Structure 1
Amino acid sequence: MILQKLTRAAAVVAALAAVGAGVSFAAPQSASAAAQTSRSAMATWGGATVEAQADNNPGSGAASWIWGADYRSGDSEGALVHVDYVDGSSESRGPIFNGSSSANLSKDIRRFQVCFYTTSGLYYHNCSAWTYM
């Protein structure tokens, strides 16, 4: 009789622990997914890579933040970041050659992309897909 009560109590405790573990496991995942405000974009061409990152909640007091990078130095290719804002306006940031650059922005970003920019023809090409925030 005592063994049956102990077995039943152990089963109840195990069931509650399993439910509790599931709840505590699910809550942090959904909270972290909702808190994610940054995205990145990358493009490659001819052995070179350019990259951009944006954040609509950078923690610096600015509405948003943008960063761009050109990873191959010594050539005529650089990075150019196109930014579309939630208010419908847009701008290009760069060009960035042989390094990286960042800026705090006064508006929230709707979408952005990074492209290769060449000084030889003063045009951009081989852009990443648009990344939506």
Structure 2
Amino acid sequence: MLSKRTAKRATFVAASAAFAAVLVTQPAFAAQADAYYHGTHAAVDNNPGSGSAGWVWVYGSTESGATGGAIKYELWDGTSGQLDANRGTTNSAGTGSDIKRFQACTNFYIDGFPFQSCGSWITFG
């Protein structure tokens, strides 16, 4: 038989684990999703409440050598787009259809040529 102290600890650990799972798990219907890549922060919302079907937002990277950031996105209607933000600034736009997938990108100039590096695609549905 467990002592009262051990039983209380076990209950606390189980409750903490369940609470953490609720905080970490994001349901499929969640409104906003975020991605980070080399200092760029990108976010989308398929239920922005602004009258648009979707919303995209980007914060331009302040990583050393970066000139800014971008969010690349594809919509369920088959169109795609990219929204850029200069270093340390933000930019946002509404979309005509729900967002299907998106990724955060960081922009650089390497040897005088523009270069863009992107993180993994985050896909919905």
* Pair 1:96 & 2:86 matched: yes
Which has the larger displacement, 96-105 or 32-41? 32-41
TM-score by length of 2: 0.67
Show structure 2 runs of 5+ residues with no match. 1-21
RMSD: 2.3
Show the counterpart of 1:60.
50
Structure 2 match to 1:132? 123
Deviation at 1:35, TM superposition (A): 4.1
Other structure's SS at 2:27 match? helix
What is the count of residue pairs matched by the alignment? 98
Partner of 2:113: 121
Question: Are the equivalent residues in 2 in contact too, given 1:74–1:98 (CA < 8 A)?
Answer: no
Residue pair 1:112, 1:131 contacting (<8 A) in 2 also: yes
Aligned pairs for 1:38-117 within 5 A? 38-44=32-38, 49-72=39-62, 75-117=65-107
Q: 2:83 touches 2:92 (CA, 8 Å); kept in 1?
A: no
State the Cα distance separating 1:76 from its structure 2 match. Answer: 4.3
Structure 1 stretches of 4+ with a deviation exceeding 3 A read: 32-35, 73-76
The 8 Å contact of residues 118 and 124 in structure 1, kept in 2 or not, is answered as yes
**Helix, strand or coil for the counterpart of 2:113?**
coil
Segments of 5+ residues of structure 1 without an aligned counterpart are: 1-28
The share of aligned pairs that are identical, in percent, is 28
Structure of higher CA gyration radius: 1
Q: Aligned equivalents of 2:115 and 2:65: distance in 1?
A: 15
Q: Higher helix proportion, which one?
A: 1
Paired with 1:89 and 1:34, the residues of 2 have a C-alpha distance of: 22
Q: TM-score, normalised by structure 1?
A: 0.64
